[in-house]
Each structure stands twice: as structure tokens, then as C-alpha cells.
Amino acid sequence: MYLFDFLKHNSRKPHSHSRSLNDIDSKVVIDKYNETNYGVNRMYTHLKRQGFNMDKYTFPKIKGIYKRNGFKVKKTRTCNGNRRSLYNYDKLEAFEILQYDVKHVLDLKALPPEIYFKFLENEDLPVYQWTIIDVKTRVRFLAWSHNIDSHFGFKFLEFVIAWLRSHNVYTSMNFQFDGGSEFCSASKKRLNIWNEKLKKYNVTVQDTDGIKWKQNIVERSHRTDDEEFYCPRGDYINSKDDFLKESQFWIMYFNNRSHMGLNSLTPKEKLESLGYCNADAICNFPTFILEDYYKPLSDFFDISSYYVLTHYLEFKRVG
């Protein structure tokens, strides 16, 4: 009577399935979820960018792992449970508000040791990344430097203004940054000086008083730099020429990659949807290292110099 009772207690779950990942491959996704808190879409993109075999790590298989393990993206919400946007995006124009920040490339928490020490020991490789991002379209403008100071902060700002104005962007622009020494050092006097210099270009600058959430978009983009540029492409960067080539591809890739905050549109497609016929030209921002151009121009502050430099860099990139 009890001879076959043991069969009642055995699991009927199959040991494997052709449409599921095995335990070892599943653990890769589980570990990355615990580390990054990515959703299914971002996890798929992340694995693809990291060089995993996407014939194995297909979207349905990753989605199945999330479903079986009950994975959900953890979100920070307000007290009443509502999500609030920092800006009223429906009323914003392209390039009306831009966030500005500097990233230190040498980050042991973000980079593998071999890439970290490569940038640390190779004097040809810059260690500071200057980032300006438009909050409406997520179009980014990047430059790099070996040193950090407010002179570069103002010069790169002027260059981006010149780039946009030379591409027929006449919107009144406001740039937000923190109180770092690379900008105005939290000095109201210096902030007023910058605003006075930029008034004739219909541009203003604003200090966020070091409040991180006011820089949420540009701060979040730095993690993307680490995960999708420095980590996967760092092995191919061994000289200044290598860096300039890879960084140029990175700028073009970022401005042409789908963005979840734009309903999966790319920044360029978002710009085109707003009526910009020259979106491709705006997004193909030229790569350069600040010391290569701005040391000889340290005594010049008129923006006309930067129109000349803008067209020179574009000619150099195309040529």
C-alpha cells in the first residue's frame, strides 16, 4: 500500500527547459539584479553591452528569471506614494534647461583595477569628464581634461553655447551646476559675473547649492559612462588617439541609443520629433581635450572665438 508513497513527495518540476537558462547562467542575471536593481529592459541592454552571448541571454529568458524570482525594480516614492518629476517636461523646450557636471574618471568603485590604473598611470589619458545634458531630449555634450578648474568650466560652457547657436538653436538656455570649484565655488559674486558675461547670449547659469537630486539626470548619466563606455571599451584605449576615437564613438552612440525616459526614443529621435531638421548635426558633437585648445585661448572670453573653434573641430572630425 505504501510502496509508491515516496512518489507523492517528489517534485515534478523539470530539471531543465530549452526556453530557460540553466542555473549557472541564471545566477549571472540574479547577481547582476542584486547589484544594479535593473529592470528587464535595462538588464538586457546591459548584458548586450557587456559582451554576453545574446543568443543565450534572450529577452524572454531574462524576463522569465525576473518572474520566477519575483524581481521588481525598487523605486523611491514620496510619502503619499506618488512619483514626481523634477520638471514639467510637457512645457519645456529643447535646450531650455541643461544640467552641467564634472566626473572624475578614476573611481575604484566603478572601474576594474586594470582600467583604473591604466588611466591613472598613462599621462596621455584625461581623468576628468565634463558633461552637459539637456533635460528635455537627453542630448549630451562631453569634453575631457587632465586638470580641473573654473577656467575650463566657463570655456566648455561657452563652447557648448557656440555649438548650439551655430546650429540655429535660439532658445533661452539655463545651465544648472553644483557649487564645485570647477564652476563658481558656491560664490554668489562669481555666479553673478558668469551671468553678466552670458546675458548677451540669452543664457543664464544657476547654482543648485549642492543638492544632488536637482542634478539627477546628469548624475545618473555618469553610471552609464562607467557601465557602457569605460568598462567595456577601456581595454581598447592605450593612447590619446585611441581615447579620442573611442570617446567620439561614445558621444555618437549615446545620442543615438534608446532611452527609457524618452519612451525608448533616442535623444536624436526626440530632437527630431520636436521639429529639429539638423538633429543629427547637433548630436554629433566633436571630441576634444580641453588643454589642447583652451590654454592658448586663456585671455579670450568673446564667444566669436568659439564659433571659429566650433567649425574648425567639426572640419577636423569630418576630414
At residue 63, the 3 state secondary structure works out as helix
Q: What is the pLDDT of residues 131-151, one digit of tens each?
A: 999 999 999 999 999 998 888
Instruction: Write down the residue that cell numbers 566650433 correspond to.
Output: 310
Residues 28, 105 within the same domain: no
Residues 128, 26 within the same domain: no
Q: Please, is 182 exposed, middle or buried when counting C-beta atoms within 10 Å of its C-beta (0-12, 13-18, 19+)?
A: buried
- What is the number of domains present in the chain? 2
Specify the pLDDT at position 22: 78
Residues 62, 162 within the same domain: no
Specify the pLDDT at position 6: 60
Nearest residue to 135 via CA among 282, 275, 270: 270
* Assigned domain for 82 exists: no
Q: What is the pLDDT of residues 206-258, one digit of tens each?
A: 988 777 778 888 988 999 999 899 999 999 999 999 999 999 999 999 999 88
* Assigned domain for 75 exists: no
Residues 45, 140 within the same domain: no
**What is the sign, positive or negative, of the torsion defined by CA atoms of 65, 68, 69, 70?**
positive
Q: Percentage of the chain with pLDDT > 90? A: 45
* Domain that includes residue 248, residue range: 97-318
Output the average pLDDT for the chain.
83
In the numeric block, which cell numbers belong to residue 316? Answer: 577636423
Residues 115, 28 within the same domain: no
* Assigned domain for 88 exists: no
Please give the Cα distance from 179 to 22 (Å, whole number).
50
Cβ neighbors of 16 (< 8 A, separation 6 or more) are: 22
How sure is the predictor about 104, in pLDDT bands with cuts at 50, 70 and 90?
very high
Residues 178, 54 within the same domain: no
* Assigned domain for 57 exists: yes
Specify the pLDDT at position 296: 42
Residues 62, 104 within the same domain: no
Residue 186 backbone phi and psi in degrees, to 5: 60, 20
Residue 117, domain CATH: 3.30.420.10
Please give the Cα distance from 252 to 279 (Å, whole number).
12
Higher-confidence position of 1 and 297: 1
Largest CA distance in the chain: 98
* Assigned domain for 89 exists: no
Residues 63, 115 within the same domain: no
Specify the pLDDT at position 301: 45
How sure is the predictor about 174, in pLDDT bands with cuts at 50, 70 and 90?
very high
At residue 104, the 3 state secondary structure works out as strand
> From residue 295, how far is each of 1, 181, 228, 275, 287 by CA, in Å?
92, 18, 31, 37, 17
* Assigned domain for 263 exists: yes
Residues 60, 143 within the same domain: no
Q: What is the pLDDT of residues 2-50, one digit of tens each?
A: 666 666 666 666 666 666 777 788 888 888 888 777 888 878 877 876 7
Residues 110, 229 within the same domain: yes
- With residue 174 as reference, give the H or E element that holds it: strand 173-177
Q: What is the pLDDT of residues 272-285, one digit of tens each?
A: 999 999 999 999 99
Angle, helices 304-318/150-166, rounded to nearest 10 degrees: 70
Residues 215, 295 within the same domain: yes
